[in-house]
Structure 1
Amino acid sequence: MSAPRTRPGEETWPGEWVAERLGVRLADGGGHAGAGLADLVGLAVRRNPRRAHLLVSAVLGKHVPTDPRLVYGSGLLLGVLVRERLTGERPGVPADALTDALRGTRTGAAAALRDAAGEPRAPLDAVVVGYAETATSLGHSVADALGGAYYLHSTRRPVPGFATYGGFEEEHSHATSHLLLPADPGELDRDVPLVLVDDELSTGRTVLNTIRALHAVRPRAHYVIAALVDLRADGDRARTRALGEELGVRVDTVALAQGNVELPDDILEAGQALVAEVLAGEQEQPLLPQERVTRVDLEWPEGLPDGGRHGFLPAHREHLEKALPAMAGLLVPHITRGRALVLGFEELMYAPLRLAEALADALPDVDVRYSTTTRSPVLAVDDPGYAIRTRLAFPAHDDPADGPGERYAYNVAPGTDPGRAFDTIVLVVDGAGDTPALAHGLLARLSALAPVVVAAVPSFRRRGMGDT
Structure 2
Amino acid sequence: MIAVAGTGSIVDRLGVRLEPVAGADATALLGVALRRNPLRAHLLVSRVLGKHIPSDPRAVRAAGLLLGLLVADVLAGRPPRALPTERLHAAAAGDRAAAAALHASLAPEGPTDALVLGFAETATALGHCVAEALVSDYLHSTRREVPGVTAAGGFTEEHSHATSHTLLPTDPDLMRGGRPLVLVDDELSTGRTALNTITALHRAMPRERYVVAALVDARPPDSDLVEAVAALGARLDVVSLATARVELPADVIARAAALRSEIDRRADLPTRGGASVGSDAGALPAPLEVRALGWPAGLAVGGRHGFAAADHAAFATALAEVAVPGLEADPAERTLVLGTEELMQLPLRLAQVLADAAGPEAAGVWFSTSTRSPAVVVDEPDYALRTGLVFAAHDGPADGPGRRYAYNLATGDPDAARGGGPAWDRVVVVVDPPGDTPALRSGLLRALAPHTRRTTLLVTP
Relative to the length of structure 2, the TM-score reads 0.90
User: What SS class does the counterpart of residue 157 from structure 1 fall into?
Assistant: coil
1:159 aligns with 2:146: yes
How far has the Cα of 1:330 moved from its partner? 2.7
* Aligned mates of 1:314, 1:234 — CA distance in 2: 36
Structure 1 counterpart of 2:76, one-letter code: T
The aligned counterpart of 1:13 is none
Contact 1:293/1:452 (<8 A) preserved? yes
* Aligned mates of 2:147, 2:179 — CA distance in 1: 29
Structure 2 counterpart of 1:139, one-letter code: G
How far has the Cα of 1:132 moved from its partner? 0.5
* Aligned mates of 1:286, 1:141 — CA distance in 2: 33
1:453 aligns with 2:456: yes
The aligned counterpart of 2:254 is 269
How far has the Cα of 1:298 moved from its partner? 2.3
The aligned counterpart of 2:15 is 23
- Cα 1:121–1:444, aligned 2, differ >3 Å: closer, same or farther? same
1:21-420 counterparts in 2 under 5 A?
21-31=13-23, 35-89=24-78, 91=81, 94=84, 96-103=86-93, 108-117=97-106, 119-147=107-135, 149-236=136-223, 239-284=224-269, 289-333=284-328, 335=330, 337-364=332-359, 365-414=362-411, 419=417
* Aligned mates of 2:140, 2:216 — CA distance in 1: 19
- Cα 1:381–1:127, aligned 2, differ >3 Å: closer, same or farther? same
- Cα 1:175–1:248, aligned 2, differ >3 Å: closer, same or farther? same
Contact 1:328/1:358 (<8 A) preserved? no
Structure 1 counterpart of 2:116, one-letter code: V
* Aligned mates of 2:85, 2:248 — CA distance in 1: 31
Q: Which moved more, 1:265-274 or 1:219-228?
A: 265-274
Partner deviation per Cα, 1:48-103 (whole Å, 9 max, x = no partner): 11111100001101000000000000000000000000003453764544234234
The aligned counterpart of 2:5 is none
- Cα 1:134–1:287, aligned 2, differ >3 Å: closer, same or farther? closer
**Aligned-pair identity (%):** 51
- Cα 1:207–1:141, aligned 2, differ >3 Å: closer, same or farther? same
How far has the Cα of 1:190 moved from its partner? 4.1
Contact 1:143/1:150 (<8 A) preserved? yes
* Aligned mates of 2:84, 2:248 — CA distance in 1: 34
Structure 1 counterpart of 2:460, one-letter code: V
* Aligned mates of 1:52, 1:356 — CA distance in 2: 33
1:429 aligns with 2:416: no
Structure 2, unmatched stretches of 5+, are 1-7, 270-275
How far has the Cα of 1:286 moved from its partner? 6.5
* Aligned mates of 1:214, 1:436 — CA distance in 2: 38
Structure 1, unmatched stretches of 5+, are 1-15, 459-468
How far has the Cα of 1:318 moved from its partner? 1.7
User: What SS class does the counterpart of residue 243 from structure 1 fall into?
Assistant: helix
Structure 1 counterpart of 2:410, one-letter code: A
User: What SS class does the counterpart of residue 108 from structure 1 fall into?
Assistant: helix
How far has the Cα of 1:323 moved from its partner? 1.0
* Aligned mates of 1:377, 1:396 — CA distance in 2: 13
- Cα 1:150–1:47, aligned 2, differ >3 Å: closer, same or farther? same
How far has the Cα of 1:328 moved from its partner? 4.5
Partner deviation per Cα, 1:319-348 (whole Å, 9 max, x = no partner): 211011234433435645231110000000
Contact 1:306/1:351 (<8 A) preserved? yes
Q: Which moved more, 1:135-144 or 1:408-417?
A: 408-417
* Aligned mates of 2:157, 2:379 — CA distance in 1: 30
Relative to the length of structure 1, the TM-score reads 0.89
